[in-house]
């Protein structure tokens, strides 16, 4: 039983390190323009723009429609996939909406920088920020 705990801790540390290093789902490695741990809005916006460019959006055509700190209702980060189960806990994070021409890119992120592009048909709104 003892060897399992270190193995689990090692896997957890590896997974967290991937998130902390600005890992973006299905994207090439993070460029030097974003820091190792994107934990502020500017870094999250830079990572979202980088992902949009990797998906074919021309960098000069990207505008930020909105960018804000939010609280997601659960582990789906406001982008639940059918038949999936998610942690039922509030998740602090970010929402960045980019516009490229008529296209909208809706990015949802955790506070430590795990970033996903959420298709419009799956996107749900975060909890309203009551401090604003």
pLDDT digit string, tens, across residues 41-63: 999 999 999 999 999 999 999 99
pLDDT category of residue 21 using cuts at 50, 70 and 90 = very low
Burial of residue 119, with CB atoms counted within 10 A of its CB: 0-12 exposed, 13-18 middle, 19 or more buried: exposed
Where in the sequence is the domain holding 54, given as residue range(s)? 4-117
Spacing of C-alpha 102 from chain mean position: 22
By the 8 A CB rule, do 20 and 5 touch? no
Half-sphere exposure of residue 11: CA atoms within 13 angstroms, side-chain side: 5
User: Phi then psi for 125, rounded to 5 degrees?
Assistant: -80, 150
For residues 100-129, average pLDDT: 93
Burial of residue 1, with CB atoms counted within 10 A of its CB: 0-12 exposed, 13-18 middle, 19 or more buried: exposed
DSSP annotation of 14 reads H
- Does residue 132 lie within any of the structural domains? no
Residue 40: the pLDDT is 86
pLDDT category of residue 127 using cuts at 50, 70 and 90 = very high
- Does residue 53 lie within any of the structural domains? yes
| Structural domains of the chain, count | 1
- Does residue 20 lie within any of the structural domains? yes
- Does residue 91 lie within any of the structural domains? yes
- Does residue 83 lie within any of the structural domains? yes
Residue 39: the pLDDT is 60
- Does residue 130 lie within any of the structural domains? no
Best CA proximity match to 114, nearest among 97, 129, 94: 94
Spacing of C-alpha 122 from chain mean position: 15
By the 8 A CB rule, do 20 and 38 touch? no
For residues 1-26, average pLDDT: 41
For residues 73-101, average pLDDT: 96
Q: Is the pLDDT of residue 35 over 70?
A: no
- Does residue 122 lie within any of the structural domains? no
């Amino acid at each position: 039983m003892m060897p399992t705990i270190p193995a689990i801790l090692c896997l957890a540390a590896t997974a967290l390190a991937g998130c902390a290093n600005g890992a973006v789902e299905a994207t090439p490695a993070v460029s030097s323009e974003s820091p190792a741990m994107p934990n502020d809005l500017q870094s999250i916006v830079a990572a979202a723009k980088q992902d949009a460019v990797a998906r074919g959006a021309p960098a000069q055509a990207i505008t930020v429609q909105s960018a804000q700190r939010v609280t997601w209702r659960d582990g789906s980060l406001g982008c639940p996939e059918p038949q999936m189960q998610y942690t039922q806990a509030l998740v602090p994070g970010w929402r960045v909406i980019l516009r490229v021409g008529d296209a909208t890119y809706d990015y949802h992120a955790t506070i430590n920088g795990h970033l996903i592009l959420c298709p419009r048909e799956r996107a749900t709104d975060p909890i309203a920020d009551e401090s604003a």
